[in-house]
Chain A
Amino acid sequence: MVQGAGRPVRDGLGLGLAVGVSGLAFGAAAAGSGLSAWQACALSALAFTGASQFALIGAVAVGGNLVAATAGAILLGSRNTLYGLRLAGLLRLRGMRRLLGAVGVIDETTAVALAQPDAGASRVAFAVTFGSLYLTWNICTLAGALGAGTLASPRALGLDVVGPAAFLALIWPRLRAGRTERVVAVAGAAIALGLTPVLPAGVPVILAATAALGGALITSPASPAAAGPVRAGQP
């Protein structure tokens, strides 16, 4: 495939629109759990991170303690801190751009940005994915909260596999690139699946980061100690 300038735009728009439609399900679920349409829209506009949003309304729906519900939802957002860590050097945002861009640091934008061949394409991919997903997610949240969620079933359209398929497609080039990447991906998936029965929702995925930590610790540095002081005992 040609790695032309159109690719980050096409990939970003495609994923943004496809995943954004899930906002219908969120809006409908939020309304069902007792949030007003305004509250559902405020969450989508300001929190803008699906897992945390669903966690909060899920806890509200079952009548859980609001402080615990809020803490759980925020904990789920810590995944985005790790994405930000990776995106910081790639996007190099400063000042107002950083404050605005931070809203868009989520699974989908990170995945599309990192699948690009160079930093310029990554910046375009991040902006396009963020923009299209933000608009679609928020419009669909409003539509879902107002009752449109009962008209369309994202599940019947198979939209619940769009996320998993997209994430796999977007890390695919990295899986082809190195053995460490493949081991880290498999270990991350195994950790998350293994812990799902015993830990609160969302936490297993965050703990999958330990696979990345292990990968970073065991892989020998690619180049000699050019970036820092030479340490005793290093080969």
Chain B
Amino acid sequence: MSTVTSRWAPPGPLREWFGRHQSISITLLTMIAAGVLPFIALVPPFSSFGTQRDWVDGFANAGVYMLLALGLNVVVGFAGLLDLGYAAFFAIGAYTYAFGASPFSGLHLPFWFMLAMGALVAAMFGLLLGAPTLRLRGDYLAIVTLGFGEIVPIVFLNADNYTNGTNGIGGVYTPTLLDYTYRVGDPWPYYVTMAVILAAVMILLYRLQDSRLGRAWAALREDELAAASMGINTVTTKLLAFAIGATTSGFAGVFLASKLTLVSPTQFGFVVSFTVLAMVVLGGMGNIWGVAAGAFIIYEVQTQGLKQLNQVLQPLNLPVVSGIDWIQYQYLLYGLVLVFMMLIRPEGLFPSRRRRAELHEAGVEAAIPEVAAE
């Protein structure tokens, strides 16, 4: 199946080759993107906003959100389940690393081992939450996950004997690769590590999307009843979506904890789940490159765009526009993104072809009330 991955290549044998060797083409594209980005920071408009190091640091943080968006995309985009407590798995991943490698716990397990552990623990909690709740219908599931997303930070906040409560766990150890230890002020190693993790996750997700499981997700999303009658085990299939979706946020959590060297319950509130949802919706539910791009765009707008908008508009002394502090309007912006994308372009900026067909098919059905009834 030829996918977006190969579309950049000119038609002909080259495109065909890349279409067939997705893993190689994803690796290549990620390498190119990761190689080009730091240089963009040196180009005039961008170079005036911050040093190259600041930009690279920002890109590494953006990578955390890209991982989150990729994971949520498995749940929302592939399987069509709305998860509003996704930040909980992020928190679980981060705390797993803090428990495994910080003075607070007295342990210092290697980062790479903990990366796998964080993902594993997050996936286990995905299963734990999913097992009893996945029989629920879509909107009930959304509210249960929302409740779960609220409970997890409360537990981390209140179980202070184990989590150090509000203060969180500080002094988390940075990763070590062979003899080299990552330093907090130096974003480059983190940036490269993130690029590698992202490439690996994207390869995994592309393989999954076209696998038997990926097709089962699509079938389930399009018509659960039909999928079940065709012999798809709906519960296992949904559970796997939850677990695999949680895995990447486990990676994201471990990475963030090792980069900030601090975890605290306030980092994982509902706004995180909400922001990631906005990223997935903006990018295009179901499209792997799309949601990664959506996450990158929203993250950069949030951290750089709004700030620069202030800087550009304030000196102009325009009425109204110059007086506004645009950073304040961040969540309004996300809210509008969610509403307008759903109303105008539900398939997102970078649609998955299949999802677009589904979402627009519904519009056709609207003309026939009998079909639309359920």
Tell whether A pairs with B.
Answer: no
Residues of A at the B interface (CB closer than 8 Å) are none
Residues of B at the A interface (CB closer than 8 Å) are none
